[in-house]
């Protein structure tokens, strides 16, 4: 299957493999796609750590199986968001990442985190720019298709520059068609396939320009 792709950035060689820290909340299939690309040499990088905000995140086991360092940084009872973000930033900074990748990370990050990694926080979102920010994006796209005749959705990878929801400078986008017979499961499967490909391509782009 082919999708139309739009990549931003110019490539130049890097003197060493990039260092990535991946933040996760869920199953970790996108983290796994990154780890596999690093292992095969498709991505000139290493995943220094996978950090989850909950101990039940399935991504932790996938990372452990791949030999990647894992940590859980939960928000404590009564802990204010700014304090949590500063503590999370301290943990991430120990690994000196070139880029921090939000691969299914389900918490908004405040400037207390973002200012520590300017132009280095990369987010994946299962929608095209300006469409369906926030959660349940695939489900909302399917509902728009059924009610309004929307015939496409997509995936975007972008830098996180501020506390806005799923916005920021675009690195890469890809369109995913919505078929009349699509169920939520079939559309979700195609969007996830697109995510795995686009995220690796986008990371290769930004790593080449660091």
Write out pLDDT tens, residues 74-125.
999 999 999 999 999 999 999 999 999 999 999 999 999 999 999 999 999 9
**pLDDT tier at 3 (50, 70, 90 boundaries)?**
very low
Residue 16's pLDDT is: 83
Percent of the chain with pLDDT over 90: 89
- Nearest residue to 137 via CA among 163, 181, 176, 111: 176
Give all domains of the chain, ordered by start, each with its CATH number.
15-208 (3.40.50.170)
Options 125, 136, 192, 196, the catalytic residue: 125
Is the per-residue pLDDT at 1 higher than 80? Answer: no
Is the per-residue pLDDT at 5 higher than 70? Answer: no
For residue 172, the surrounding DSSP H or E stretch is strand 170-177
| CB contact at 8 A, 176 and 155 | yes
How far CA 132 is from CA of 5, 46, 83, 127, 144, in Å, comes to 19, 31, 29, 6, 10
**What average pLDDT does range 174-202 have in this prediction?**
97
Give the HSE-up count for residue 73: Cα atoms under 13 Å, Cβ half-sphere.
Answer: 20
Residue 13's pLDDT is: 43
Render pLDDT for 163-177 as a digit per residue (tens, 0 to 9). Answer: 989 999 999 999 999
Residue 14's pLDDT is: 46
Render pLDDT for 12-40 as a digit per residue (tens, 0 to 9). Answer: 444 689 999 999 999 999 999 999 999 99
92 or 9, which is more confident? 92
**pLDDT tier at 7 (50, 70, 90 boundaries)?**
very low
**pTM of the full structure:** 0.90
Q: What does the mean pLDDT of the chain come to?
A: 92
125 a catalytic residue? yes
């Amino acid at each position: 299957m082919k999708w139309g792709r739009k990549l931003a950035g110019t490539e130049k060689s890097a003197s060493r493999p990039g260092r990535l820290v991946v933040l996760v909340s869920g199953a970790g299939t996108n983290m796994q796609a990154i780890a596999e690309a690093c292992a095969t040499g498709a991505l000139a990088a290493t995943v220094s750590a996978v950090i989850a905000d909950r101990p039940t995140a399935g991504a932790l086991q996938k990372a452990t199986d791949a030999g990647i360092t894992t940590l859980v940084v939960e928000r404590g009872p009564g802990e204010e968001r700014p304090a949590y973000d500063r503590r999370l930033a301290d943990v991430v900074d120990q690994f000196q990442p070139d880029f921090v990748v939000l691969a299914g990370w389900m918490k908004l990050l405040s400037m207390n985190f973002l200012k520590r990694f300017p132009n280095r926080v990369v987010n994946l979102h299962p929608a095209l720019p300006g469409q369906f920010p926030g959660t349940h994006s695939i489900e909302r796209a399917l509902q728009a298709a059924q009610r309004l005749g929307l015939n496409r959705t997509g995936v975007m990878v972008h830098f996180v520059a501020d506390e806005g929801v799923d916005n920021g400078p675009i690195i890469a986008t890809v369109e995913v068609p919505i078929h009349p017979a699509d169920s939520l499961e079939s559309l979700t499967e195609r969007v996830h396939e697109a995510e795995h490909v686009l995220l690796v391509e986008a990371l290769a782009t930004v790593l080449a320009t660091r």
